[in-house]
Amino acid sequence: MSLISSLMNSAKSSVSSAGQNISSAAPSITGVAGDMADKLNQKFKGALAGKGEIIVGAAQKYGLDPALLAAIMALETGWGTSSAVNNRNNPGGLMDPSSNWMSLQSFSSIEAGIDAMAKNLKTGYIDQGLTSISQIGNKYCPVGAANDPNGTNGGWIPSVTSIYNQLKA
């Protein structure tokens, strides 16, 4: 619990579901965040099984809504079952810039991958004013991207929105 406590802060984040901004204060791990961590522990499998507190802690470290971070992770990893997360510790489908964005990054541990994903979401999206799921999705997973040969990026925004709404319920 001390690792999680050290990651906590009282930052606020603003994210939007279906284009409408909603703000949430990052809660303490014993309150709403603890409930979110428990919910994530029930849902995630594979490398993300039992990592609810780590996910919530990373979200709070970067002032993110834990449900947003978790919703993206859930979609990108099939709730923790993808080879990217289980073989590369990559819970966000983060692409490697050294491969011209054509192959996945690898991380030394799942905790490092979770932290990298949260940092990327904060610095590459939220800090740049991309605060709705649709704004984030248009950059994170653009339709027609060269690294999307099967055309699955078109389902990213509605899928993340649906998962986000389920997690917030």
Give the pLDDT confidence of 99-123 residue by residue, as tens digits: 887 889 999 999 999 999 999 999 9
What are the pLDDT digits (tens) for 28-62?
A: 344 556 799 999 999 999 999 999 999 999 999 99
Distances (CA, A) of 23 to 12, 54, 78: 7, 22, 27
Average pLDDT over residues 140-156: 85
Q: Which residue has the tokens 């991309």?
A: 130
Average pLDDT over residues 126-131: 96
- Please check the confidence at residue 126 and state whether its pLDDT lies above 80: yes
Instruction: Judge if pTM exceeds 0.75.
Output: yes
Q: What is the CATH number of the domain that holds 135?
A: 1.10.530.10
User: Range of 75's domain?
Assistant: 2-168
- In the prediction, which pLDDT does 31 show? 52
- In the prediction, which pLDDT does 9 show? 31
Q: Where are the alpha helices (DSSP H) in 2-153?
A: 2-7, 32-43, 52-61, 66-77, 83-88, 110-124, 133-140
Portion of the chain with pLDDT greater than 70, in percent: 80
Average pLDDT over residues 139-155: 85
Q: How many structural domains are present in the chain?
A: 1
- In the prediction, which pLDDT does 12 show? 33
